[in-house]
Amino acid sequence: MRGDTKKKRVNQILLALLVISGFAFFRFYDAMVDLYNTTLLAFSYKYGFISRGLVGTIFQMVNAVLPMDLMSYDGAMAFTQVATALFVIVMFVFLRKCLMCADEKMISFQSYLELFFVLIAVSMFVSRRNMGRVDIYMIALSLIGTMLIIRKQFEFLLIPISAFAVMFHQGYVFMFFNVLLILLIYRFFTVEKKKKKKYAIIFILSFCIASALFLWFEFFSRMNGERFVEEIISNAKLLSYNGEYHDTLIDHEILGIDLGGVEWDFHKENFVEYPLFLLFMMPYIWIGVRLFGGFIKEAKTKVDKWKYTFVVIGALTIVPNYILKIDYARWTMSIVTYYVVMLLSLLAMQDEVIENVCCSVLLEIRAKAWAPLLFVYLILFLPFYDVFMDQVMHNIGHFLNVNWLHLWEHY
C-alpha cells in the first residue's frame, strides 16, 4: 500500500473512531464532576509538596492567569472539560501514531483494538464518577512517553514525565508506570549493545525518581495537614456542585488518617462482584490469553522469551492495589490500558512475532460464534465506575446481598 493510500485509510479509521467517541460521549456524559474530583482541585503546592497536589496547583495557576474567577463549580467543570478534551486529543494522537507506524496488514487488527480502548476510555472519563479523575493525566503522560519510545526521540523526557505523573497521583507507580518501564525493558533487549546503556540509564533514573516521589507522598507528605486543612475544605466547598467536600479524601491525603477499616465493606462487595465480572468477561480474557501467551510461545530465542515474559507480567504491578485499595474499576482500566497500549506500541514497532500471533488470533476470533457480539456486548458493561465495577455488576451484587448474602450494608 502506498504511503498516501495508507494515510487516507488511517484518517478514515480515525474519523470513524472520533464519530463513535462522539456518540459514546453523548451516551455516557453526565455533565457533572463528582465531589472527589472537585475536592482534589482545592489541593495545591502552596501548602507544601503534598500528595496529589499537582492538578490543583495547575488549576489554581490557570485561575490566577485567566481574567475570570474559576473558584466555583462552573469553573471546576470548565477546567475539567478542557482537561478531558486534551486527554482525548492525546489519545487520538497516540492512536494515529500507532496506525501510521504499523505494517499495513495490521491496520484492521489495530483498529479493533483502538475501538475497544476508545469505547472504554471515553465512556469512563465522561461519566459522573470519573470525570476529572487524575487518571486521565496519568494515562495521557504514559501515552506521550510511549510515543517517544516508539519514535526513538527525546526518550530522556521519560524521566520528567514519570515524575510529573507521580505528582498527579502516587498510585501511578502501580497503575500506568508499568507501560513505560516494560517498553524500556523491551527496547533494552531489542537494540544493539552500544544503545542498551541509554535505556538502562533512563529506566534506572525514571524508576528511582518515581519511587522516591512515591515514598515521599505516601509516607512523609502528610505531616502538617492540620495547618491548612480548613482552607482546603473551604475551597473544596466552593468548587463542589452542592457546597460539600469529599471528607475521606481530605482525611487520608491531608490529615493522614488510615481508611482501612472504613473501606472493608466495599472490599466485601468487590470480592463478590469482581469474580462474576471476570466470568462475564471470559471472551476478552480468552483473547488476551491467546495473544500474550502466543507471544511467549512463538518467541524464537531465550532473550525473546524473556522480553515477552516481561511484557506479559508487566500488568502485575497493579496487584498491591487490588489487595489494599477498593477502586477495582480503576485497577481494571489500568490493566486494560497496559495491555492495549503495549500491543499497539509493539505493533507500531513492527515486532514480527507480535504481528504473526495477532494475525492468527484475529482469524480465530472471526471464526468464533460470539465474534459479532464482541463490541456490542462490551458496551453493556460501560462505563466503568471507580469502586464498583459498573452498573451491571452493582445491580447483581446488590440483588445477591439483599436476598442472600447480607455481607455489606452500604448501597
Partner 1 sequence: MGLKERKIENDKFLFWLGMFALVSFVLYAPNESKGILGYRTAVIVYVVYVLAFLLLYRSILTKVRTTMNKTLRYLFVFLSVFVFSFVLTVEKFGGTDVYQLVLLCGCLSVLLYEKREWLIIPLTALSMGMGVGYLFLYGNIVPVLLLYRYFTRTDVRRRKYLWLFTLTVAVSVFMFFFHGGFRYFAELTLFSNFRRLGAFVFCFIPYLMMAFSFFRGLIRESRKKICGWILCLGGITSLPMLVLKNQGGSCVFAIFLFYALTIGMLLAMGDLDVIREMKRLKKTLQKWEPIGVFVLVYPVLFMPLNDAFICRTVDCMINLILP
Q: How many CB atoms lie within 10 A of CB 96?
A: 18
Closer CB to partner 1, residue 85 or residue 212? 85
Phi, psi of 14, rounded to the nearest 5 degrees = -65, -35
Phi, psi of 190, rounded to the nearest 5 degrees = -95, -35
Q: Are 274 and 328 in contact (CB under 8 A)?
A: yes
Contact with partner 1 (CB under 8 A) among 257, 299, 396, 400: 396
Closer CB to partner 1, residue 313 or residue 405? 405
- CB within 8 Å of 325: residues ≥ 6 apart: 171, 263, 331
Contact with partner 1 (CB under 8 A) among 111, 127, 221, 317: 111
Written as one string, the DSSP assignment of 299-341 is: --SHHHHHHHHHHHHGGGGGHHHHHH---HHHHHHHHHHHHHH
Closer CB to partner 1, residue 23 or residue 271? 23
> Which segment (106-114, 169-177, 207-215, 402-410) binds partner 1 by CB under 8 A?
106-114
Contact with partner 1 (CB under 8 A) among 157, 212, 215, 373: 373
Closer CB to partner 1, residue 64 or residue 279? 279
Closer CB to partner 1, residue 118 or residue 185? 118
Start-to-end Cα distance in the chain:
55
Residues 24-83 that bind partner 1 (CB under 8 A): 24, 26-27, 29, 31
Contact with partner 1 (CB under 8 A) among 17, 42, 287, 333: 17
Q: Are 169 and 139 in contact (CB under 8 A)?
A: no
Site for partner 1 contains 395 (CB under 8 A): yes
Contact with partner 1 (CB under 8 A) among 20, 35, 201, 281: 20
Site for partner 1 contains 391 (CB under 8 A): yes
Site for partner 1 contains 286 (CB under 8 A): no
- In the bound complex, what is the minimum distance in angstroms from residue 346's beta carbon to partner 1? 19
Site for partner 1 contains 280 (CB under 8 A): yes
Site for partner 1 contains 5 (CB under 8 A): no
Contact with partner 1 (CB under 8 A) among 64, 300, 369, 406: 369
Distance (Å, rounded) from C-alpha 173 to C-alpha 138? 10
Site for partner 1 contains 142 (CB under 8 A): no
CB burial of 224-252 (b: ≥16 within 10 Å; e: otherwise) equals ebeebeeebbebbebbbeeeebbeebbbb
- In the bound complex, what is the minimum distance in angstroms from residue 113's beta carbon to partner 1? 10
Cell of 330: 480503576
Closer CB to partner 1, residue 85 or residue 204? 85
Q: Give the Å distances, CA to CA, from 108 to 61, 99, 327, 339.
A: 43, 9, 33, 18
Closer CB to partner 1, residue 62 or residue 396? 396
Give alpha helix (H) positions in 191-224. Answer: 193-215
Closer CB to partner 1, residue 23 or residue 49? 23
Distance (Å, rounded) from C-alpha 160 to C-alpha 98? 23
- CB within 8 Å of 238: residues ≥ 6 apart: 42, 71, 72, 73
- In the bound complex, what is the minimum distance in angstroms from residue 374's beta carbon to partner 1? 9
- In the bound complex, what is the minimum distance in angstroms from residue 267's beta carbon to partner 1? 22
Distance (Å, rounded) from C-alpha 111 to C-alpha 20? 13
The amino acid occupying position 279 is L
Closer CB to partner 1, residue 77 or residue 107? 107
For residue 35, give the 3-state DSSP assignment: helix
Contact with partner 1 (CB under 8 A) among 5, 11, 19, 285: 19
- The residue whose grid cell reads 452493582 is 394
> Which segment (34-42, 70-78, 301-309, 372-380) binds partner 1 by CB under 8 A?
372-380
Contact with partner 1 (CB under 8 A) among 1, 204, 289, 380: 380
Contact with partner 1 (CB under 8 A) among 12, 234, 350, 356: 12
- In the bound complex, what is the minimum distance in angstroms from residue 108's beta carbon to partner 1? 5
Site for partner 1 contains 1 (CB under 8 A): no
For residue 43, give the 3-state DSSP assignment: coil
Q: Are 356 and 362 in contact (CB under 8 A)?
A: no
Q: Which residues bind partner 1 (CB under 8 A)?
A: 12-13, 16-17, 19-20, 23-24, 26-27, 29, 31, 107-108, 111-112, 115, 280, 283, 369-370, 372-373, 375-377, 379-381, 391-392, 395-396
